């Protein structure tokens, strides 16, 4: 018996996003509720409930208070529900599927433009109820073509669909509605993932004797999948999980196809596949027993006799033998194993990794080791290279486990409770063993190649992971090593390159490669800094000066200001005597006015330099915040003083204006321009 999983099955992006939002909320603390079940799957809802996400049917079931919030499920809600939650002071996390949210926007816009709206879907489904709410409940819900006859003709009609419905049914409804409107606008709002899932299920049905559809009985898209498979004529059974599979329904079945609704989690799919593996192995054992008990001369016996006559020891099931590749096709490889019969390796038995064609994996003439799976009736031996590779990988990992060796692997994806790691075969890395502390976002590790230790190894395990990994101890050891190295080499007065790890109100913690130091807000710039985030962002790299060390308390004080030029050093390079510059009046004294040229750099306009006439009070000439032109008449670097003159700046401007006027008189054509 063969088992095949549809290429598109299980959690859709919208459901996966909703579950992630709920799990993140649970990790933040407080009390969180979902308005109705987050997804239509009791197993997922029960799992979230264990983590603290409690489903309620109405907002008034929630007692408001601090750190209390509501999670809007993937199906969405009408707008008044969100308003009521806000009025009750509840925190809101909107997990509405983005594709469903798009339908909300469409119907709201269409209703505003005066269209009569038809929603193709189930009137009792929460997604449809939410959609109608976004157009003021002024929509007609139609479940099928037979209901279109109840419609009366209208001038302007718009049609949308529940995202999980069948596309062919949707267009049949549209065709029936078309004659009933002067103008009709059609929006195919069926989720692309839903369409792909249905198409994959139909394709799988054509190759199977039995289709198992995984999903909760309340799931609309699972019901649609079941109907699509039944319509192909193949025997179809909808189940909730592995415990629903009975030996009776597999009686006489050689090819089983498995698909799953959008709200079915990965772990349920894996349990079903594990269960089917048990049935496959049991079926194979029974087949072998029948053959052993069969006293008639079968084709297998004849093939074995022929092989023995040729001085060839007939390999039995489970034997590992060597062979030479004599033919490679896309879906299988033919191997000469030294007897009068050739061996065949199907593509699925070629490699531990998925491949589109056997031609990408092997060449004619290659010598390989293979395992005998069984003898076919025509004497052909069914072989597996994958099982040999698996044994070799398991042998190596078993040795690594017993010797507590550090191994390397690449993280390939996330699952419930952790990550999947490719170490030659798939291993499991629990979330609690990714680092030596809590990790909020596991997806950031996907694609990374890291080092691990094996903390659990069971090559005969049928359910769950045979190999469980951990980085926790390695990360702690590396941090300890870097910390020691840091304190052995750090000295006051050094300049180090660091990365901003955390920003707080009073400064920023900088990772110096093994230890964190504090860069206080007062040491960030020469000028006053209102908040550290005005200067730095988490993740930024910056040079810092080691200002002070407290080895006993293991504290490091840093400065960025020490490495920056002071405003006066910059002013010395930027300004020169005789320059005319613009500045802002920041303070007035009886003897003159202070003008800011740059932040932290002020100059003085003495009262005698304010005008070409006697000035009684500086306020008679300037006011605070005035932008004025001044001439630099002196710079004293030692005392950090700059002398300025409004009078001389005005004199120079007037002289320049007179000269430009005279030049224009001597050159009339230039003046005309």
At 464, the pLDDT band (50, 70, 90 cuts) reads low
Residue 384: other Cβ atoms inside 10 A: 19
Average pLDDT over every residue of 95-107: 88
Which stretch of 266-270, 364-368, 428-432 has the lowest confidence by average pLDDT?
Answer: 266-270
For residues 378-405, give the mean pLDDT. Answer: 85
The whole-number average pLDDT for the span 529-544 is 90
23 has pLDDT over 60: yes
What is the Cα–Cα distance from 316 to 319, expressed in whole angstroms? 6
Q: Quick one: average pLDDT of 381-396? A: 87
Which CATH number fits the domain 11-97, given the four candidates 3.40.50.11270, 3.40.50.300, 1.10.287.3240, 3.40.50.1370? Answer: 3.40.50.11270
Distance CA 101, CA 663 (A): 70
pLDDT band at 462 (very low <50, low <70, confident <90, very high): low
CA distance readout (Å), 585 to 619, 625, 629? 11, 5, 10
Q: What is the pLDDT of residue 282?
A: 63
Helix (H, G, I), strand (E, B) or coil at 608: helix
Distances (CA, A) of 223 to 110, 511, 566: 30, 53, 71
Alpha-carbon span 146 to 132, nearest angstrom:
21
Overall pTM surpassing 0.75 (yes/no): no
Alpha-helix residue ranges (DSSP H) falling in 418-563: 472-489
Which pLDDT score is estimated for 118? Answer: 95
pLDDT at position 484 is 84
All structural domains of the chain with their residue ranges: 11-97, 99-190, 308-384, 390-476, 490-563, 567-657
Is the Cβ–Cβ distance between 602 and 641 less than 8 Å?
Answer: no
How many whole angstroms separate alpha carbon 588 and alpha carbon 583? 14
| Average of per-residue pLDDT across 357-368 | 88
What's residue 339's pLDDT?
52
d(CA 29, CA 9): 32
CATH class entry, domain 308-384:
mainly beta
* pLDDT exceeds cutoff 70 at 440: yes
Segment 95-120 mean pLDDT? 90
Whether the per-residue pLDDT at 380 is higher than 70: the answer is no
Q: What is the average pLDDT across 357-372?
A: 88
Measured CA to CA, the distance from residue 657 to residue 648 in angstroms comes to 14
Range 567-657 classified under CATH 2.40.50.140: yes
**Band of residue 591 on the pLDDT scale cut at 50, 70, 90:** very high
* Mean pLDDT of the 213-217 span: 88
Is-same-fold flag (390-476; 567-657)?
yes
Predicted pLDDT of residue 619: 93
| Percent of the residues in the chain that have a pLDDT greater than 70, as a whole number | 91
The tens digit of pLDDT for each residue in 622-669 reads: 999 999 999 999 998 888 899 999 999 998 888 887 777 777 776 655
Mean pLDDT computed over 372-382: 69
Tens digits of per-residue pLDDT, 240-253?
A: 888 888 878 888 88
> Span 490-563: which CATH code?
2.40.50.140
Average confidence (pLDDT) over 266-290: 69
Mean pLDDT of 214-236: 88
pLDDT at position 291, please?
47
Residue 296 has a pLDDT of 41
Mean pLDDT (the chain) is 84
Specify the pLDDT at position 294: 46
**Domain 390-476 carries which CATH code?**
2.40.50.140
pLDDT > 70? residue 312: no
What is the predicted pLDDT for the residue at 142? 94
Supply the pLDDT for residue 15.
82
Q: Is the pLDDT of residue 218 over 90?
A: no
Active site positions, annotated: 127
Per-residue pLDDT at 62: 87
pLDDT given for residue 477 in this prediction = 84
Topology of domain 99-190, per CATH? Answer: Cobalt-precorrin-4 Transmethylase; domain 1 (3.40.1010)
Query: In percent, how much of the chain has pLDDT > 90?
Result: 32
354 pLDDT higher than 90: no
* pLDDT the model gives residue 508: 93
DSSP 375-423: E-TTSPEEEESHHHHHHHHHHHHHHHHHTT-EEEEEEEEEETTEEEEES
């Amino acid at each position: 018996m063969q088992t095949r999983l549809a290429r598109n099955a299980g959690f859709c992006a919208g459901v996966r996003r909703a579950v992630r939002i709920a799990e993140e909320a649970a990790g933040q603390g407080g009390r969180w509720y979902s308005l109705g079940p987050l997804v239509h799957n009791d197993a997922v809802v029960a799992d979230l409930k264990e983590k603290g996400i409690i489903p309620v049917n109405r907002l008034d079931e929630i007692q408001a208070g601090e750190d209390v919030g509501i999670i809007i499920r993937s199906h969405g809600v009408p707008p008044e529900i969100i308003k009521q939650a806000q009025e009750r002071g509840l925190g809101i996390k909107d997990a509405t599927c983005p594709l469903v949210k798009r339908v909300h926007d469409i119907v709201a816009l269409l209703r505003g433009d005066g269209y009569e709206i038809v929603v193709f879907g189930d009137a009792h489904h929460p997604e449809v109820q939410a959609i109608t709410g976004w157009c003021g409940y002024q929509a007609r819900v139609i479940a099928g073509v037979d209901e279109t006859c109840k419609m009366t003709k209208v001038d302007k009609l718009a049609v949308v669909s529940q995202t999980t419905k069948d596309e062919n049914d949707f267009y049949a409804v549209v065709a029936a509605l078309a004659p009933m409107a002067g103008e009709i606008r059609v929006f195919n709002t069926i989720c692309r993932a839903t369409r792909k899932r249905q198409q994959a299920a139909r394709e799988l049905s054509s190759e199977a004797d039995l289709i198992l559809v995984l999903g909760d009985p309340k799931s609309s898209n699972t019901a649609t999948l079941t109907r699509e498979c039944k319509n192909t004529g193949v025997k179809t059974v909808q189940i909730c999980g592995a415990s629903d599979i009975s030996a009776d329904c597999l009686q006489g079945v050689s090819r089983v196809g498995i698909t799953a609704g959008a709200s079915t989690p990965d772990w349920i799919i894996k349990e079903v596949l594990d269960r089917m593996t048990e049935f496959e192995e049991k079926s194979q054992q029974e087949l072998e027993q029948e053959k052993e008990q069969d006293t008639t001369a079968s084709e297998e016996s004849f093939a074995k006799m022929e092989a023995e006559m040729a001085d060839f020891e007939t390999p039995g099931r489970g034997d590992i033998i060597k062979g030479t590749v004599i033919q490679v096709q896309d879906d299988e490889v033919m191997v000469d194993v030294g007897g009068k019969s050739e061996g065949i390796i199907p593509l699925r038995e070629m490699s531990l990794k998925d491949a589109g064609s056997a031609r990408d994996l092997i060449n004619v003439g290659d010598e390989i080791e293979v395992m005998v799976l069984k003898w076919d009736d025509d004497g052909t031996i069914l072989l597996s290279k994958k099982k040999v590779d698996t044994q070799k990988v398991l042998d190596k990992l078993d040795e690594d486990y017993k010797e507590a060796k550090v191994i390397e692997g690449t993280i390939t994806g996330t699952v419930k409770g952790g990550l999947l790691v490719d170490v030659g075969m798939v291993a499991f890395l629990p979330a609690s063993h990714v680092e030596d502390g809590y990790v909020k976002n596991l997806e950031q590790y996907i694609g990374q190649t890291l080092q691990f230790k094996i903390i659990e190894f069971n090559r005969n395990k049928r359910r769950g992971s045979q190999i469980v990994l951990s980085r926790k101890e390695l990360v702690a050891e590396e941090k300890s090593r870097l910390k020691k190295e840091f304190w052995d080499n750090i000295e006051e007065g050094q300049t180090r390159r660091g990365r901003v790890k955390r920003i707080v109100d009073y400064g920023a913690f900088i990772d110096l490669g093994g230890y964190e130091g504090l860069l206080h807000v007062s040491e960030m710039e020469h000028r006053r800094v209102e908040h550290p985030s005005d200067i730095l962002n988490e993740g930024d790299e910056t040079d810092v000066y080691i200002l002070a060390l407290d080895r006993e308390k293991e504290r490091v004080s840093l400065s960025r200001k020490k490495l920056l030029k002071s405003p006066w050093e910059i002013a010395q390079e930027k300004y020169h005597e005789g320059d005319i510059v613009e500045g802002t009046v920041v303070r007035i004294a009886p003897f003159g006015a202070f003008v800011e040229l740059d932040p932290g750099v002020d100059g003085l306009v003495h009262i005698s330099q304010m005008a070409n006439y006697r000035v009684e009070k500086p306020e008679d000439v300037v006011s605070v915040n005035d932008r004025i032109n001044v001439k630099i008449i002196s710079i004293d670097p030692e005392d950090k003083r700059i002398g300025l003159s409004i009078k001389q700046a005005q004199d120079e401007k007037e002289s320049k204006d007179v000269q430009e006027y005279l030049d224009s008189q001597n050159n009339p054509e230039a003046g005309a321009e």
